[in-house]
A = this chain, B = another copy of it.
Amino acid sequence: MNLITNSVSKQINELRNNVPLVHNITNYVTVNDVANVLLAIGASPIMADDIDETADITAISSALVINIGTLNKRTISSMVVSGKKANELGIPVVFDPVGAGASKLRNETTKEILSQVKIAILRGNLSEISFAAGLEVSTKGVDSSEADEKNDSVAVAKVVAKKFDCVVAITGAVDIISDGERVVKISNGHKMLSKVTGTGCMTTALVGAFAGSCNDYFTAAVGGVASMGIAGEIAFEKVGDLGTGSFRVAIIDALSKLDGNIISERVKLDEE
């Protein structure tokens, strides 16, 4: 078992002991699943987005997760205010630029957050992350564009990580985690994950749970991303081809049973 696998396995057990409070300013489409996966992995979720309380809630939390899936002007302000409060207090900020590239508002908001808030971990698909780096991309909605496959995920992850001095997690058929120097590839997961809404948002929240429980954000990103991939595999083994409704339930079941041993046995990661 290599070093990073060992660290992740330890971290998930510590996470279940620490029960970090994770503040989410997130979208209303997938928020219930986000709350349930946070509880399943051992964290405690709180959602708050009013400007009059958002910094107070961030201040009592162990991590802040910002997700622009259904952004609006009211919540954008809260994202920036909470992000700054988190920076001030040394609380890690995990950012998911959902649909970056799909509208001017998402583009400008992504830029605003990246310029005003120090991000610990940036999580998205190749299209979203490429956009954040100013690389040429075309986005179709909130799913990764086939057109973007031309970009090399590893190169993009490294460039963006250096640019924003953060950890970058690009999820896809193979997930890439980089801090600008180190690169880890994770080959867990199942293609049916793309047929359940919010598996990206849930992955980001899991990354937030890990980040709220340890100070090594690179390992935290690997932990959150690997957890979702492994849960997807276990879920498919259990429900097979029953359908995407049963698969979604089984993902949460798998996350609620996940521990260091299961991660050690199942994680498929390569360090470059």
Within 8 A of B (CB), among A54-76: 56-57, 60-61, 69-74
Q: How many copies does the complex hold?
A: 3
- Let me know if A36 and B73 touch, CB within 8 A: no
Within 8 A of B (CB), among A230-272: 241-246, 248-257
User: Which of B40, B53, B197, B241 is the one whose CB lies under 8 Å from A243?
Assistant: B40
Mask for A2-36, Cβ within 8 A of B = 1, else 0?
00000000000000000001000001111111011
Known: A102-B46, A104-B53. A250 touches B245 (CB 8 A): yes
Is the contact region of chain A dominated by helix, strand, or loop, or is it mixed? Answer: mixed
Q: Bound state CA distance, A155 and B46, in angstroms?
A: 28
User: For the complex, is A44 an interface residue (Cβ under 8 Å from B)?
Assistant: yes
Interfacial chain B residues near A137, Cβ < 8 Å: none
Interfacial chain B residues near A32, Cβ < 8 Å: 29-30, 32-33, 197-198
- Let me know if B253 and A44 touch, CB within 8 A: no
Q: Bound state CA distance, A31 and B245, in angstroms?
A: 15
Least distance between A22 CB and chain B CB atoms (Å):
9
Q: Which of A30, A53, A196, A198 has the most CB of B within 10 A?
A: A53
With both beta carbons as reference points, the residue of chain B lying nearest to A52 in the complex is identified as B105
Within 8 A of B (CB), among A186-207: 195-198
User: Which of B27, B196, B254 is the one whose CB lies under 8 Å from A39?
Assistant: B196
Can you spell out 13 A-B residue pairs with CB atoms less than 8 angstroms apart?
Answer: A28-B47, A29-B45, A30-B35, A36-B244, A45-B197, A47-B70, A48-B99, A49-B70, A56-B105, A195-B256, A243-B250, A248-B249, A249-B249
Residues of A within 8 A of B (CB): 21, 27-33, 35-36, 39-40, 44-50, 52-53, 56-57, 60-61, 69-74, 99, 102-106, 140-143, 195-198, 241-246, 248-257
